[in-house]
Chains A and B, each alone.
Chain A
Amino acid sequence: MEPLYSDSFYFLGLIVLMPMLGAIINGLFGAKLPAKLVNWVACGAMALAFTFALISFQALVNQGDGQEVGHLSYTAFQWIFSGSLSAEIAFLFDPLSAVLVLVITGVGLLIHIYSTGYMAEDPSKWRYFAYLNLFVFAMLLLALGKNMLVTFIGWEGVGMASYLLIGFWYTDAEKAAAGQKAFIVNRVGDFFFLLGMFILFFTAGTWDYLELEQMATTTATAAVLLPIALPVGVLIFLGCTGKSAQIPLYVWLPDAMAGPTPVSALIHAATMVTAGVFLLSRINWIFTLDPNLMAIVAVVGSLTAFMAATIAIVQTDIKKVLAYSTVSQLGFMFMAVGVGSFTAAVFHLMTHAFFKALLFLGAGSVIHGMHHEQDMRKMGGLRKYMPWTHATFLIGTLAIAGVPFFAGFYSKDLILWSALSNVHILNVEGVLATAQMDYFTTTLAPAVAAADGGPLSVLGGALAINWFVFIMGVLTAGLTAFYMFRAYFMTFHGECRADEETRSHIHESPSSMLVALIVLAFLSVVGGYIGWPHFIAAIFPAGVKSYALGLEYWLAEVFAVSDTYRVVGRFGAHPYLAEGIAAAVSVLVAGGGIALAYLMYVKRTDLPGVIYARATRLHYILSNKYFVDEGYFAAFVRPSILIGKAMTWFDKNIIAGLLVGGAAFMTQNLGQILRNLQSGNVQRYATYISLALALVVLAIFYPGCLA
């Protein structure tokens, strides 16, 4: 039975409209409105958007027939119509965008409420809320776009809002520069994204996601997309590395911490930086066409996750730790994409939005209480002063470290398991998706099923790249647990290292900020309960089971193509073995990381100094972030400046000096010469006439004598 497709579900338009109206009202009249009203407009817009998102979600659930969820869509208006090109501002609400929209509006609402407390003292609060609403508007366009064009408008819009908010305190040159850096680095990525988008559009002749998916999953038409899958995928992935802060374009995100802390929570942790993961999930059918493409994404994600985690270990600024942690966690999401488990990527996107927003807001609460002190070396012992902040921050830390029964554990576990058991990155040259499926069901699956020789035979189906991704993931998970607990212990435990003046002023944050912390802490615990590991879900009663694996069923339709590749672990005598191994290993390394952090920062606080003395060089490299920024400066920025200087010289001297100046000089001087001809003296004119006449006569009677 076909599910109902409602194609004029106007609530989708309302979701997008609310933040836009909020941004317009606050942006145009905010300076004149009373401060209370500014808060109400901004939070009210978000609350309404969240309500409409819930209504849409409800409608989406209700229209399913138990087999398929289907989708809702709404075409607002036709924007451009020219020849065969038709660009519509249209919204698509399917299971994937539903997850993202609920996260954006829900977490966004909490962060708006938090901001009313955090930014209460700021003189240009209205500007801040206008930008924040503008950001949410653009992000919703990105998430709800029915075609690539609408997504791209949102993509650029969030980039702009991000720039405005990072440089919100623009009177500080350093903060303004951080905003510019974010914008320029993203522009590089956007350029690649645009190229990929155009190649796809010119090849397929459409940029509507549903039509493209239809093309990519039908064997006959997939042949058209197959040759461009790799270039398009790489270009769009490069765009995603900009927005989602992956190697090579991650350098802007740590600097982006210059903005207000709630901005870091909303934009640079929960929503905008996950846009890349969302986009790759949106076009998962392109990626599954080419195993090499998947391998590239997997390797880049793994390297980013690991590298950012190593840098996070030595950071002393609490926000910088969280920033590198975000880069690392985004790397995890791309690992999941790279091994073809888009469900895991979206799951981690969601749980990460909860706990990372919570951690950022907790850090903001600490910074607020410490009067804008961000250096963890000057904190410590804040447990006593800020009990609520401490409790919620601890929950967030447990969640990100991957401790069981907290959200992060479930999504990270799903990623690690996928890394082990997804074999579709097997490089079958030039085979179409459908044919690949045949290959697995006829060749690989029986082989795995037949190999009943214990755990290693089951894992034997995994390839080198699977092992690489898995090992990187496990190492990163250990590092994550370590650096997050290091930050937690340095901030909340031990002796307070702040000076007397600051210490006497440390206070718990106002209730508007605590509400957001508490709700997010709750979500950081239960957020993972829609994706239990299969071997645990197997013992649940049937009624609970469908909820315990809810996210997987919910997204199954969107990722129908890619989900067919999970081979090992679904076949054979040991269906859950790989998953059990992944879960056990991740819990072990998380425990190890936590224990090490406890040892170094609570028990033996002299240890960090000892290690530092031993590994000064390593510390030097890590605290300077592998000198990537310096490398980029030498490789791109300085040449650009030099080229700019050369161009300036060229422009000043050659263009303006020689050509423009020369033309003016010539005209002037020619005028000086020619004005002598126009003397007004009749006799001189007669002379000219006679001379000309003589020349004409000469030319007629003796042609060639003048040449």
Chain B
Amino acid sequence: MSWEPTLAHYLILSAAIFSIGMVGVMVRRNAIILFMSIELMLNAVNLTFIAFSRYRIDMDGHIFAFFVMAVAAAEAAVALAIVLHVFRHKRSVNVDEMQQLQY
């Protein structure tokens, strides 16, 4: 009697991961952690895509997942470059200190 996870389990896991990422974005102050949280959310979405892909037995979800990965990679590259420069300038990666553009 082997247990098979159903679609619902995947979705619950995905929602949990997404929520963790979302809360991370809202509460953490470290820019690096923020990006990690965003990656978490993107991965949660990817998990849903793949889960649905399996469930419906077609490949569309995979295509979406690949797109999301590509975009996430590009975004991470750009964002990390910005954070690196800010760090050089300010000796800190705390987002609360990145407020010059507000005024």
Contacts and interface: CB of A to CB of B under 8 A. Distances in A.
A686 interface: yes
B74 interface: no
Interface residues of A, number: 6
B8 interface: no
Interface in A669-707: 680, 682-683, 686-687, 690
A686 B95 contact: no
A683 B25 contact: yes
B26 interface: yes
Given A680-B102, A683-B27, A690 B95 contact: no
Contact of B22 (A680, A682, A686): A686
B22 A683 contact: no
Nearest to B103: A680
B2 interface: no
A599 to B, nearest CB: 102
B102 A690 contact: no
Contacts of B25: 683, 686
A438 B63 CA distance: 111
A683 B95 contact: yes
Nearest to A688: B26
Interface string B16-49: 0000001001110000000000000000000000
Interface string A529-566: 00000000000000000000000000000000000000
A687 B22 CA distance: 9
A690 B22 contact: yes
A680 B25 CA distance: 15
Interface string B83-103: 000000000000100010010
B7 to A, nearest CB: 18
Contacts of B27: 683
A582 to B, nearest CB: 100
Contacts of A683: 25-27, 95
B99 A687 contact: no
* Most chain B beta-carbon contacts within 10 A, residue among A680, A683, A687, A690: A683
A687 B26 contact: yes
A680 B22 CA distance: 18
B102 A682 contact: no
Contacts of A680: 99, 102
Contacts of B22: 686, 690
Contacts of B99: 680
Contacts of B102: 680
Contacts of A687: 26
Interface in A188-217: none
A683 B31 CA distance: 11
13 contacts: A680-B99, A680-B102, A682-B95, A683-B25, A683-B26, A683-B27, A683-B95, A686-B22, A686-B25, A686-B26, A687-B26, A690-B22, A690-B26
Interface of B: 22, 25-27, 95, 99, 102
Across the A-B interface, give the 9 residue pairs with the lowest CB-CB distance, nearest first: A680-B102, A687-B26, A686-B25, A686-B26, A683-B26, A690-B22, A683-B25, A690-B26, A683-B95
